[in-house]
Structure 1
Amino acid sequence: MTRKQKRLSIIAGGLGFLGLAAALTFYALGQKASYFYMPADLVAATLEPGQRIRLGGLVEKGSIVRDGGTEVSFSVTDTENSVKVAYTGILPDLFREEQGVITEGSFGADGVFHADSVLAKHDENYMPKEVADGLKEKGLWQQETQ
């Protein structure tokens, strides 16, 4: 093998190794991705059992039920459809009715969304971007101007 052929084979081997590493990284990230849905989007969606998603919308008025301890159930709505959510844990301090929320988890066999994390807006001028964009598309949310 000439010096030029050795150099080309080392470069080709290095590029092959980097390509394989990139492919494995993207595959692993794709398996961990959580897709964002609004309640109206779930009507047309076909989800696999146990598939992790992010569910966003507004906490429906009058739907929060605390079962003693840390078990809470509530509904997330986009004013068209609503989804019942069950959560066990401590809710964010600013979690309340008619506020933007994003939950992450999966649907159970009972049709209830079982969340393992809940994110709520953190002040009066912020709503999670995905929720705000989804509500703006439907013409249901208006940003307050000050």
Structure 2
Amino acid sequence: MKPRHRKLALIFLVVAALGVALALVLNAFNSNLVFFFSPTQVANGEAPAGRAFRIGGLVEAGSVRREADGLTTRFVVTDTAQSIPVVYTGILPDLFKEGKGVVAEGRLGTDGLFDATQVLAKHDENYMPPEAASAIEQAQKAQRTVAE
């Protein structure tokens, strides 16, 4: 093999290796990418079907029910315009309460029930995830516009 061909083969191998590495990184990034949606967006069908995403808003007052197994909890997340029922099996954060901000990560079932794999609660009285606060604010503005 001539030195020129050897250099071309080496350059081709390096470019191919970089291409494979880039494809693997982009695939890992895409599979771990989780978007946030408000209950109104989920109700309007904007959330991805069959993919994990986050839903955020307030835990509706009077909606928290714990099942007999002690780990499964059902509650409703609302942005004051729409509500989505959520089921979660696991230990809830200490700050999880009715009427407080929450973000749940999981998948939406065909029955409209959000099956959460992770539940995050606010960390103090002044904090709400920015996405959840924005979604609630937009829903309240839309309700005021409809009422007028």
Shorter-normalised TM-score: what interval? 0.7 to 0.9
- Of residues 18-27 and 126-135 in structure 1, the stretch that sits farther from structure 2 once superposed is 126-135
Paired with 1:77 and 1:137, the residues of 2 have a C-alpha distance of: 13
Once the two structures are superposed, residues 3-60 of structure 1 have per-residue CA deviations (whole angstroms, 9 ceiling, x without a partner) of: 4553343233212211221112212331333221110111132643x42221111111
Query: Which residue of 2 is the match for residue 97 of structure 1?
Result: 98
The count of residues paired between Structure 1 and Structure 2 equals 139
- Structure-to-structure mapping, 1:1-146, within 5 angstroms: 2-42=2-42, 43-45=44-46, 47-48=48-49, 50-68=50-68, 69-138=70-139
Normalising to structure 1: TM-score of the pair? 0.81
Normalising to structure 2: TM-score of the pair? 0.80
In structure 1, the gaps of 5 or more residues are 141-146
In structure 2, the gaps of 5 or more residues are 142-148
User: SS of the residue aligned with 1:40?
Assistant: helix
Query: 2:76 is matched by which residue type in structure 1?
Result: S
Paired with 1:15 and 1:109, the residues of 2 have a C-alpha distance of: 44
Structure with the larger helix share? 2
Once the two structures are superposed, residues 104-132 of structure 1 have per-residue CA deviations (whole angstroms, 9 ceiling, x without a partner) of: 11123432111121000111232123212
Paired with 1:101 and 1:46, the residues of 2 have a C-alpha distance of: 18
